[in-house]
Each structure stands twice: as structure tokens, then as C-alpha cells.
Structure 1
Amino acid sequence: MDATNKLPLEMVYHWEKNKANALYMTQPIGDGNVVEYTWGRAVDEARRMAAYLKSLNLPEKSRIGLISKNCAQWIMTDWAIWMAGHISVPLYPTLNADTVNYILDHAGCEVLFVGKLDDWDMMKPGVPESVRCISYPLSPPNDFETWDDIVGKFPPLEGETRRDPDELATIVYTSGSTGRPKGVMLSFRNMAFAATGGMEVLGVGPSERMLSYLPLAHVFERTFVELGSLYAGFHLFFAESLDTFVQDLQRAQPTLFLSVPRLWVKFQHGVLQKMPKKKLDRLMKVPLLNKVIKKKILKGLGLDKVKLAGSGSAPLSSDVLDWYRNLGLELLEGYGMSENFAYSHMNKPGRSRTGYVGEAAPGVEVRISEQGEVLIKSPATMMGYYKDEEKTKEAFTEDGFLRTGDKGEIDEMGRLKLTGRLKEIFKTSKGKYIAPAPIENRLMSHDAIEMVCVSGANQTQPYALVMLGEEVQPKTADENFRKELEASFKNLIQEVNKTVDPHEQLAFITVVKDEWSIENSFLTPTLKLKRNVVEDAYQAKVDSWYAKRQPVIWQ
């Protein structure tokens, strides 16, 4: 079926008519049990919830909040909100009460769906008493009206709701590595264009299987998983928890698998803990063993059926990319932003280049400004920022190109390489500018390092803060292990310094004791480093580290 020019709700009604009895979503509910939703059941429950929302007599186009980890009800809620003529406002399931309160107030949400959450007690104080809450089957204990009661009571909303293509469909609040999150306004046309283009580039059809586990509040998962399943008609599985992730993967046997760099690195570290890299490399050179080992590793990760694997939201080091490609998994990087519904650039199978985020997707215009900034324009580009005309104006050039804030360059095949963030570039005391991202990518080639932050504004040379992998951290209590690790870090600095300009050479590496996490605000909900928070946390110690004149410093 040609999905071009069809809006999300039209696709919902299409599958309801044409595939009502086909399995659409598999939702784990604990103890190895699952609930299965056919297209017919999913649309019926969404229609019933839409009828309930209509009964509340909210003003037309009201904003309705949704805070939950990924589950079947998340997707049905999005549809129900649209069917009832309203606008969905997803919130990350890891936000603190202050940010929850800010978003609900800024968007003017009178209704909030409260779903599967690990720390509802932390968030609850941020929800005003005036907000009507509805809970999902997997919600933490509460006394709200429940999803099951509502769909049991209300008859399904009849007919097919028509929404205007240029009408506001959703407000996505950016995770914001600095300051308050901004509300990105996306229309039904923006969403439809990104989803149809994305499925076309990836060559995705109804026979695929995907595991949904990255936050649906983020555009990456929303475009390629929620909207992807809607436009291609494939089977969606949900993850139960981090502890059951391997079983969830084994159940789904995904044919498409998208992740973020931090998780790809964690998967790799998990394999290398069981079999050190040198031994693995040696065995992989044996022709008879090569295929057996590759298959065993991919099967162990639950990725042996994957035909297309993607990584997005931040750069992945070339060593990690090459490692997966050697296993026979062509890991393709892509690039997009909340402001263009994650639809911008993608590597294509057989045309990828390490270190590049791929070619412009169909319908995307791209150019590099005189300052080296990547500028992008397409029908997926946002309508603007909610209630913020000033920031909206700042986000666009006079001729309507989105200012990405990323620096980049384009090769002869039209593939884009990102060379750093304009705002992340800092100046040393010698007056030289440094882009931290390329140096960080080189450091990430070390298999003991999980995260890295290169800094050094107003210092003579840059330095690097590194966080060790969780399986490496406890071993540093062993003096011999620590000495070996320190020696390998000294080698790493020498290797990296050979590949960069003199003013970019690292003075030292500091190994931090702290864990950088979403909970302590060092990371955004999509696991990106909040550079300013990390730098501020160690600022008081930086001068004393330089004074030590040692290549490796242990915090």
C-alpha cells in the first residue's frame, strides 16, 4: 500500500480495516507473561479512550500529557488524543518533579496519562492537583481512573476523525542539555513526511519485528518505531525492564534494531568481559571458527536475526562501529533532531562511511554555512517552539533553513560528517579553538571507557574526564589491574595526540569516581552528556590537576 501523503490517523484506520486480526503489539506484563494486541483490539481501545476524552468537554485542541515508559497503552493513547481532536505532550519517564511541573504548566495540560514508571514518587509532587490523571495497567499504585475501567465503560468513538495536515499534532519537549526544555511543535504533515521517508530509505515492510525500549517521548523512537510501525504495519514488542532485556530481545527476535551509542558500547563491553578482545580477534582470524563465533555473539545479544541495525542521538566511535561490522552487523549511523522529527541524514547499506552520518534523506535540503554550521530544510521541519517566537526566529535562517547548531562537512558522495557543536567549541588560553567531539570519539576506542568529556577552556591544553564501564570500576581496587589500566591510558594519550593538531593534544586524563547518570542530571533522558553540568562538577579541581603534570590522574 502506498502510504505517501497519508496522515498518522489515516494509517490507523487503514490497518483497522485491512489487518484487524493481525498481531500488532506484544506487551510483557511480568513473570514471562505477555498481552497481545491485534490491530483491531488496539484501535478499538484507542477509540474507547477517545470517546472518554471527548466526554470531558475539554476546549478544542487541548494539550494532553503522557508520562510513561514504553508500552502498548502509550501508542494507543497517542492515537486516542488525536482521535478526540487534541494534541499529545509526551514527557520523559525519568524527569524530576520540577521539570514535570514546568512542562505541564507551560503546555497547559489539564489531563495526564500516568503509565509504567520506576520513580513516580519523585515525579508526583510536580503534578498540580487540578490535573486529571488516568493510569495504565502497569502504573505504580495510585487512586486514578484506570485505562481498563474506562475502555470497559465507554463505547468506541465512531467514524474516522480527520485532522488537518498542518495542524499541531504533538509538542515534544527537548531533553535540553542546558536550561529549560523547549516545546518543539510538530504537525501531522511533519510526522507523516518523516515516517514515510524513513521507511522508504530503510526499505522496511510489514514482516519486520522491532523491540521498543528507547523512550517514546524522544523523536528517534517515535519516528522509526511508533510511526514506523504505523506506516509499514510491522509487529512491535516492548521491553519489560533492564533486568529482562536479554529475554525481551530473545522474545522479539528483532529484524530491525535501533539503539544509542552508550548501549552499543555496553553490549560490546559485555561481550569483551566474557572474552578479551585480543583472544576474540585471534579466534576470528581462524576461518573455521570465524562464522561460528560471530553467530554465537550475535545470538547471545539477541541480534542474530537483525538485518538492519542503527545508531543515533550522538556519535559512535569508529572502533565500535568497526567491531560490530566485523561481526557481520552493519551498524548504520543516522542524524536528526527533535526539530526535524529525527528526519535528516541516514547511512545506507553498502554506502556507509565510518565517521559520517550518511546522506540527506529524500526531500531534505542541506547546506553548510560560512561558519561551518549544518543548515537543513524539509517538510519534516518543525512549526516552531511553543509559546516562544523569539527562539523560533533564532532557529531559522531568513530563507527558512533550520540552524542545527552542529558543525559539519560533506564528502563527494553527499555524506555528512559532524565535526562538533558550535556551542561546545571552546578556546584555550593560547586563543586556539577546540571541538571536543572528534577527540572524545578517539578516546572511546578504549574498551574500559564508557563515557568521556574533553574540556579545557582557558587552559593551555585540553584534558579529558573519563568514566569507566561499570564492570571495570570495581577491578580498580586491585593495584596490579590499576597499574595496567594506567599504562594503557598513557598509551592512549600518546596515540590520540599523534592524530590531532598540537593545540588539541591532551595534557592528561582524569578518571572519575562518580557515575554520570540521568538521576544526577549529568545525562539527558536520551543519555547525552550535559557538558556544562559535568564541567561544573569538577571545575574546582581542574587547576590542581594541571599542576600535577601527570598523564593519568585518579579522582
Structure 2
Amino acid sequence: MTNDNNAAMKTPVQALEDRRRQQGDSVAMVQPLGGDQVRRYTWNEVADEAYRMAAYLKAEGIQAGDRVALVSKNCAEWIIADLAIWVAGGVSVPLYPTLLADSVRLILEHSESKLLFVGKLDDWDMMKDGVPEGVKQVAFSLAPDEVRGKVPVWTDIVAKQEPLAEAASPGPDDLATIIYTSGTTGVPKGVMHQYKSMSAVGAKVIQVYNLEPSDRMISYLPLSHVAERAAVEMALLYVGNTVYFAESLDTFGEDIKRAKPTLFFAVPRIWSKFYQKASEALPPKKLNTLLKIPLLNKVIKKKVLGAMGLDECRVALSGAAPLSTDIISWFNKMDLEILEVYGMTENFGWSHTTEQGDQQIGWVGTPNDGVECRIGEAGEVEVRSVANMSGYYKQADLTAEVLTEDGWLKTGDVGEIDGRGRLRITGRIKEIFKTEKGKYVAPAPIENRLASQPGVELACVIGANMAQPIALLNLTPEEQEKLSKGTEKEHFTQSLNALLEKVNSQIDAHERLNALVVCKTPWTVENGLITPTLKLKRNEIEKYYDADLPTWAASRGVIWEQ
């Protein structure tokens, strides 16, 4: 086993052994079980269950290098199962818990997974037909009753199985996991990460924000996504802090208040929801007035953040897409500095970080320890680090398109670097479109401005071969509820017209929007218009509205889809 001075080469399993030795009786994870009930897992219990499940996997014929898949919403057994796969010498293959049967089958067959852990799911019926014959299954404790009644159950296995005597000891270049991308542009690709990716991120993430075992996090974004895996799972193992799990979207408010996270990572859509709800409860003008009163200033800030469960948060992070400057500025007024970070599945989320006190709004910070960054052809951001993937599984041709022979990863993002080495992402190469005037438009920064408007959930800017771009909008469920009562539409239309005028005054002439279209169909994972990580599937959205686009492109102002 490596020692703490050589932490960069420590595998997640070796990190687990350190946690058991150093913090055995400390609480590692807190799992809600419904109502006020929770289960607190100590490090001793985490390690014991991981080694028992690893022994079961070996008994079921899992050998070194075999792929074992997991499909579940976040829960303690997800992380313990991941560890068990590695203890047994296998390769973990996480699946999003919202995939349809066809995608489940594609991934399980492509990865040649031998066994599938089935966990906490909202709709197993839409997935179950995708499990190929011959793939064994194990049910988590919180799996649907239908699954628990048909296959071996986690609690029964760990109660009867003796722990594996000795963990596998893979090298840094051995394959640890295959993470299938969420597929904004087509068929998911299997991103291969070796143990050295995880070792490097696990060891280095501690230093970036001075993480301590006393820190608390809440896990609610999919663990099948690299951001949560790096920020939550690796930090948990290499730092030894406590992770609380969210039970459901309906209970998220209570879950986060239970956790009172000291470190909180969110995608822009979550920060936008926080901002919009706070603005509805305390309009910005009224808030600004109250903040000017010295005796009320601190009280108001604590109350506003406390309502979000963030009154003890010392590190707030945002990633996966740009965050509106309006939202960042608003949280700055609350003395909560949201730091934008940058990374992708292909580099295990390890690329750029904004350091506290060095925030430049609109920029994603400087390269992390061990990361090199340069701007390549057509302004494309390229990065090189030990956390870069080894390639796409069974897709050498696609690997060659994004990984150079000397190890540079072509990110697909367009960006620029300032004199201090900070990076700004200005768009995606595949998303930038050309209007009929021959002018290029990057949609993401414009969408950002639109999505900060109260009542707007998502915005998609479209304009290829149009005279001027237009934006399609999806409204929040709360706003839709208000509008259904029939009294708010005129007022909301006025606010959208004001938004259109404001945004157009902030962007170049060729980018200005002719119209905002309020779409009546919600964009969801289930109808294929957004990914499981809440990113727009632009091609699918354009296809969905293809028949209406010419009419909308010739219109002006605010349009309500009929």
C-alpha cells in the first residue's frame, strides 16, 4: 500500500483502507429512509459491506477486468457497490437512472457487462426490458419491490457473505471505470478512465479548497455523471468528510437543510432555481433596500441562505455550463461566492477551478494542479493532464479525433486565456451556428442571460440560416401554474418583452433575437429534449419544432406556442 506522501498513486480502495484505519467509527454517509428516518454508515461499515459484496461478486464469477454495471439514483449503496467492484478487480460501468430500455441495452451490450446492480429508481418499467439475457442482477435495499422479489438483495447478501480476504491490487494504468456520456449529440461514448485519473483527482481535490474530514456535502446530482463522481465520491474517499444523500426532488429542501453542506456543487439550473425562488419571496428591489440597513444586513443574508440550506456553506461551486452573471452577482451580495469550475467526462472533471478571492465573472479559473491548457485551431480549448481518459471504449477512430498522440484532449469548447492564465469558454464548436448573413453566433452566453429571468427554466437559441436568431423558452412549473389561472399571461408577456429588449441591448447586432417563443411542452429527459444532466439536446429540440421554425423566425417579440 502507498503511504500518504505518495497519495497521488493511492487507488480508491487504498483510500478506503486509510479511512477505515484512521476514521473507522466516524460517520461517512447519511442515507434517508423516508420521513425522519436515516441510516448513518461509519467507515467500518462501508468497508465491511464493500468487502462482503466483493466476495459475492467473485463467487458469481467476476474476474479481473470484467465490467459490472450500476443503475440507481444516488444512495450509500451506489458508492459501496462501486468500491466492491474495484475490491473484486472489476471495472464499474455507471448508467443514468433515467435511461430508456434501448439505451440500457446499448450500454450493457457495448460494455459487455456481466452483472448489474439495480437500485433506487423512479421507473424500472421503462428500463427493465433493456437488460440482456445472461446479465445477472443484484438489488439494492431501496430497489423497486418488483426487483427485490426476483433477484438477490444487497442486505441478504452482506448478512450471509464473509468479506473478501484481500482486495485486488491494480496498477495506475489499469482500467477502473467506463463512463458513458449523456449524449447531447448522439450515441453515448464509453469514456475509459484508469486508476491514475481517480488517484490524481482524489489527492489533488483536497488541496484546492482545503477540504477537511469535518466538511459536509449533499449528493443529489447523478453519481453516474463525472462531476458528482469526482466532487463527491472521490472527495469522500480521499478526504474523509461526510456525505448526505437527497431522498427525492420533493424532499430536497429538507434534505439539504439536514446536511447543511459546507461544500456545495450545483449546475446552473439549480442555482437559477434558488435565485428565482428567493427573488419571488423577496424581490430584488426590496432586498437591496433591506441590505442597506446595517442592523438588518447580516440577519437578512443568513435568513435568505438558511432558507436554501446554505447558511453554513463555505465553498459554493458551479459547473457543467456557464452560470448567469446576474445570478453570480446576486449571490455575491449574500456573501456567497459561487466559483465556476470547468471539466468534462473525458478528463474526469479535472481541468480548471476558480480560486476563492480570484473570481472573474464569466471565466472558469486557472488550470488545476498538473493541468496544461492551450488554445488550438479554430479557438478550441485543449488540455493535457494525468486525469485525461485513455480513450473511448472500442472506438479508436473517435479517440484519435479528440486525443492527440502527445496527450492533448480536444475539448470541443471554444475559449480564450487571459494574461493570468484564466480561461473563458465562449461556446461549443458544434453549437456555434451561422446566420444567413454569414455571421457566427455562440448560443450559450445568450441563453445564460435569458435563463436568469424569474419564471424561465430553460432557453435554447436557434438561428442557423435565419436572418436573425430566435430563442425558445421553457417555463418553470411554478410559472406554468400561475399562467394556468389565466390572470398572469399579460403581465408575464410584458416582462418577457422587457427581457428581450434588455438582452438585445447587451449583445452584438448580428446576435440580436427577433423573438422569444414560449413553448408549451416541457423539455424533459423522458421526451429526449434534455440530457440526464439537464443539458439541452439542441438537435432534438430543433427537430421537434422544425415545422414551426420558419413562422417563428419571421415573427417579432413574444410568441406563445399554440
TM-score range, shorter chain: over 0.9
Q: Deviations over 1:289-319 (max 9, x none)?
A: 2211111011111111110011111111100
Q: Give the structure 1 partner of residue 498 of structure 2.
A: 491
Residue 514 of structure 1 and its aligned partner are, at CA, apart by 1.4
Residue 411 of structure 1 and its aligned partner are, at CA, apart by 1.3
2:523 equivalent to 1:523: no
Give me the TM-score of the superposition, normalised by structure 2: 0.96
1:66 and 1:114 in contact (8 A); partners too: yes
From 412, 421, 424, give the equivalent of 2:419: 412
CA distance in 2 between counterparts of 1:278 and 1:539 reads 40
CA distance in 2 between counterparts of 1:168 and 1:240 reads 32
2:63 and 2:88 in contact (8 A); partners too: no
Q: Give the structure 1 partner of residue 105 of structure 2.
A: 101
Query: For 2:299, what is the secondary structure of its paired residue?
Result: helix
CA distance in 1 between counterparts of 2:455 and 2:293 reads 26
Q: Give the structure 2 partner of residue 137 of structure 1.
A: 141
1:66 and 1:89 in contact (8 A); partners too: yes
From 223, 231, 235, give the equivalent of 1:228: 235
Q: Deviations over 1:111-163 (max 9, x none)?
A: 00000111111111111231110001100012110111111111111134311
Q: Superposed, which structure 2 residues align to 1:460-539 within 5 Å?
A: 460-477=467-484, 481-539=488-546
Q: What amino acid maps onto 1:85 in structure 2?
A: G
Residue 281 of structure 1 and its aligned partner are, at CA, apart by 2.5
2:337 equivalent to 1:315: no
From 94, 110, 133, give the equivalent of 1:90: 94
In the comparison of the two structures, how many residue pairs are matched? 554
Query: For 2:457, what is the secondary structure of its paired residue?
Result: strand
From 373, 381, 393, give the equivalent of 1:366: 373
CA distance in 2 between counterparts of 1:198 and 1:419 reads 26
From 440, 444, 454, give the equivalent of 2:451: 444
**Worse-superposed segment, 498-507 or 333-342:** 498-507
1:511 and 1:554 in contact (8 A); partners too: yes
From 317, 323, 336, give the equivalent of 1:329: 336
1:318 and 1:355 in contact (8 A); partners too: yes
From 36, 41, 47, give the equivalent of 1:43: 47
CA distance in 2 between counterparts of 1:480 and 1:78 reads 51
2:125 equivalent to 1:118: no
Gaps of 5+ in 1: none
2:391 and 2:403 in contact (8 A); partners too: no
From 553, 556, 561, give the equivalent of 1:550: 556
Query: For 2:427, what is the secondary structure of its paired residue?
Result: strand
Q: What amino acid maps onto 1:552 in structure 2?
A: V
Query: Could you tell me the percent identity over the aligned residues?
Result: 51
CA distance in 2 between counterparts of 1:279 and 1:539 reads 43
CA distance in 2 between counterparts of 1:282 and 1:488 reads 22
Query: For 1:451, what is the secondary structure of its paired residue?
Result: strand
2:88 and 2:167 in contact (8 A); partners too: no
CA gap 1:240/1:44 in 2 versus in 1, 3 angstroms: same
2:64 equivalent to 1:73: no
Q: What amino acid maps onto 1:180 in structure 2?
A: V
Residue 273 of structure 1 and its aligned partner are, at CA, apart by 2.3
Q: Give the structure 1 partner of residue 33 of structure 2.
A: 29
CA distance in 2 between counterparts of 1:5 and 1:123 reads 37
**Worse-superposed segment, 117-126 or 18-27:** 18-27
1:408 and 1:416 in contact (8 A); partners too: yes
1:13 and 1:160 in contact (8 A); partners too: no
Q: Deviations over 1:382-422 (max 9, x none)?
A: 00000000000011234321000000011122111100000
Residue 328 of structure 1 and its aligned partner are, at CA, apart by 1.2
Q: What amino acid maps onto 1:36 in structure 2?
A: R
Q: What amino acid maps onto 1:176 in structure 2?
A: G
CA distance in 2 between counterparts of 1:182 and 1:14 reads 34
Superposition RMSD in Å: 1.3
Q: What amino acid maps onto 2:445 in structure 1?
A: P
From 249, 265, 269, give the equivalent of 1:258: 265
CA distance in 1 between counterparts of 2:96 and 2:526 reads 12
From 173, 176, 180, give the equivalent of 1:166: 173
CA distance in 2 between counterparts of 1:209 and 1:249 reads 10
Residue 491 of structure 1 and its aligned partner are, at CA, apart by 2.2
Q: Give the structure 2 partner of residue 149 of structure 1.
A: 156
Residue 478 of structure 1 and its aligned partner are, at CA, apart by 5.7
Query: For 2:547, what is the secondary structure of its paired residue?
Result: helix
**Worse-superposed segment, 164-173 or 487-496:** 487-496
CA distance in 1 between counterparts of 2:69 and 2:167 reads 23
Query: For 1:374, what is the secondary structure of its paired residue?
Result: strand
Query: For 2:302, what is the secondary structure of its paired residue?
Result: helix
Query: For 1:165, what is the secondary structure of its paired residue?
Result: coil
CA distance in 2 between counterparts of 1:23 and 1:474 reads 41
Q: What amino acid maps onto 1:88 in structure 2?
A: S
**Worse-superposed segment, 55-64 or 322-331:** 55-64
1:283 and 1:290 in contact (8 A); partners too: yes
Residue 279 of structure 1 and its aligned partner are, at CA, apart by 2.1
Q: What amino acid maps onto 1:98 in structure 2?
A: D
Residue 166 of structure 1 and its aligned partner are, at CA, apart by 0.5
Gaps of 5+ in 2: none
Residue 216 of structure 1 and its aligned partner are, at CA, apart by 0.5
Q: Deviations over 1:258-306 (max 9, x none)?
A: 1111111112222222222322232222222221111101111111111
CA distance in 2 between counterparts of 1:450 and 1:238 reads 24
Q: Give the structure 1 partner of residue 361 of structure 2.
A: 354
1:215 and 1:526 in contact (8 A); partners too: yes
2:433 and 2:441 in contact (8 A); partners too: yes
Q: Give the structure 2 partner of residue 54 of structure 1.
A: 58
CA distance in 2 between counterparts of 1:367 and 1:545 reads 40
CA gap 1:399/1:165 in 2 versus in 1, 3 angstroms: closer
1:65 and 1:112 in contact (8 A); partners too: yes
Q: Superposed, which structure 2 residues align to 1:152-231 within 5 Å?
A: 152-231=159-238
Residue 483 of structure 1 and its aligned partner are, at CA, apart by 2.2
CA distance in 1 between counterparts of 2:557 and 2:188 reads 38
Q: Deviations over 1:197-228 (max 9, x none)?
A: 22211211111011111111011010110111
Give me the TM-score of the superposition, normalised by structure 1: 0.97
**Worse-superposed segment, 68-77 or 194-203:** 194-203
From 303, 306, 311, give the equivalent of 1:299: 306
Q: Deviations over 1:228-260 (max 9, x none)?
A: 110111111111111211221121111111111
Q: Deviations over 1:67-122 (max 9, x none)?
A: 01111111111111111111000001111111001000000011000001111111
1:440 and 1:454 in contact (8 A); partners too: yes
Q: Superposed, which structure 2 residues align to 1:415-426 within 5 Å?
A: 415-426=422-433
Structure 1 stretches of 4+ moved >4 Å: 477-480
2:469 and 2:553 in contact (8 A); partners too: no
